[in-house]
Structure 1
Amino acid sequence: MLLSHAFGMFTHPDDEWVTIRKEHETPRRVYVAYVAILALIGPVCAYISTAHFGWTIGNERLIKLTEISAMQLSVLTYISMLVGVFALGYAINWMARTYGAKEEHVPSNGIALAAYSCTPLFLAGFALLYPVPWFNALVFLVAACYGAWLMYDGLPIVMGIEKEQAVMYGGALLTVALVILVSTRAGSAIIWNMGIGPVFVSG
């Protein structure tokens, strides 16, 4: 079962990458059986915390989102996560030959590398059940750093390249990830201006 890889990413990532390399799962299966499931954690937890728990900043009153607003933003977040993982996986495959990776007939390795590297970010979604901004930011920062390390660690194994090449390859992919993040933020601003922004209520 693909979900078993989530635990392995934290206990023995090198062995897990070797197993993933040998599996050659299709991108569709990786998406349906792994990404689509784990990516739900953050949006669902965010919906529960923002619509039902609420949060405070300093000594201000409790703030919540309306249930409809929280649902809309959670669905959009889920979609953006799926698109982000696909875009990163596509970039991995697109740049593969440039960095000497072995060409695959089925573009499974790039999607798999992107999906499993994002595991810490998926699981960090549980932190949203405790809606304290500084705590959430810290958890996601640690998760992003570990995810970046997982990608660097997995590149030589999954893509079949030298470790020296993985440094430049990984740097290029982190740049792509930042572009995806900025694009997501810009897209959020555009969508909010279209009337699908957060609607706050007092707790």
Structure 2
Amino acid sequence: MLFQQMCGVMFHQKDVWTKIRERKYTVIECYTHVLLWLCAIAPVSFFFGTTQIGWSFGNGDYVKLTVGSALMIAIVFYFALLVGVGFIAHVIHWMEKTYGADSDLEHCMVLATCTAAPLLLAGITGLWPMLWFVVGVGLVALAYTVYLLYSGVPELMNIPQDQGFMFSTSILTVGMVVLVSMLVSTVILWDLGIAPAFTN
């Protein structure tokens, strides 16, 4: 049910956001019905793309990863996505009172799940890991994620548009901080031994 409504958010935002607000989903439902599957798209796609096709920067040369290193990176990436969405939901719940919202963690989790969906779906580009293709689709998905965030916060949190705009901006800022933190964590993990190993 949540997955169907999440798909509906893509095309009929206002009506579906209202239905989602009225139907109380649990954090467990968000994970079992949606996130466990959506968060797997990018790791699985990039695992196959980087081991079977190879990463390309557009100059005709393809670089492949070994199965072992790609699998380790995919597993870490998968759990990082799961934790990242949950962390953003908790931050939204922590900030909501500041902007006049009176929601619960469950609604914040639904908001984080629905707005992250375009970026998670864009992970399918990993099956054809061409740099320009991945970046291009990623930017489009990011733009739509931002649109869903700004349209969804006032409706789901049941607050005025001006407060919703400020709240959405704060959430977006947190999301960017989480993204940067994940990049820094990647560098640290590489130093600890979870680094890509290339085939000859």
Q: Please state which band the TM-score falls in when normalised by the shorter chain.
A: over 0.9
Paired position in structure 2 for 1:69? 69
C-alpha contact (below 8 Å) 2:72/2:194 kept by paired residues:
yes
Question: 1:167 deviation in Å?
Answer: 1.1
Paired position in structure 2 for 1:3? 3
Q: Give the aligned length.
A: 200
C-alpha contact (below 8 Å) 2:54/2:64 kept by paired residues:
yes
The verdict on how the C-alpha distance between 1:58 and 1:134 changes in structure 2, with shifts beyond 3 A counting, is: closer
Is 2:79 the partner of 1:82?
Answer: no
Q: Which moved more, 1:54-63 or 1:159-168?
A: 54-63
Question: 1:101 deviation in Å?
Answer: 0.3
- Runs of 4+ aligned residues of structure 1 deviating over 6 Å after TM superposition are none
Residues in 1 aligned to 2:129 and 2:120: alpha-carbon distance in whole angstroms: 16
Q: Aligned with 1:65: secondary structure?
A: coil
Question: 1:58 deviation in Å?
Answer: 4.2
Paired position in structure 2 for 1:187? 185
The verdict on how the C-alpha distance between 1:144 and 1:58 changes in structure 2, with shifts beyond 3 A counting, is: closer
Question: What's the CA shift string for 1:132-182, capped at 9, x where partnerless?
Answer: 011101111111111111011111111111101011111111110111011
The verdict on how the C-alpha distance between 1:42 and 1:94 changes in structure 2, with shifts beyond 3 A counting, is: same
Mapping of 1:29-108 within 5 angstroms? 29-59=29-59, 61-104=61-104, 107-108=105-106
Q: Aligned with 1:161: secondary structure?
A: coil
Residues in 1 aligned to 2:180 and 2:58: alpha-carbon distance in whole angstroms: 28
The verdict on how the C-alpha distance between 1:194 and 1:159 changes in structure 2, with shifts beyond 3 A counting, is: same
Paired position in structure 2 for 1:150? 148
Residues in 2 aligned to 1:103 and 1:7: alpha-carbon distance in whole angstroms: 22
C-alpha contact (below 8 Å) 2:57/2:132 kept by paired residues:
no
Give identity over the alignment, percent: 37
Q: Aligned with 2:159: secondary structure?
A: coil
Normalised to the residue count of structure 1, the TM-score between the two structures is 0.94
Question: 1:60 deviation in Å?
Answer: 5.3
Question: 1:9 deviation in Å?
Answer: 2.5
Name structure 1 gaps, 5 residues minimum. Answer: none
Q: Which moved more, 1:109-118 or 1:52-61?
A: 52-61
Report the RMSD for the aligned CA atoms in angstroms.
1.3
Give the aligned residue type for 1:185. Answer: L
Give the aligned residue type for 1:4. Answer: Q
Residues in 2 aligned to 1:101 and 1:186: alpha-carbon distance in whole angstroms: 32
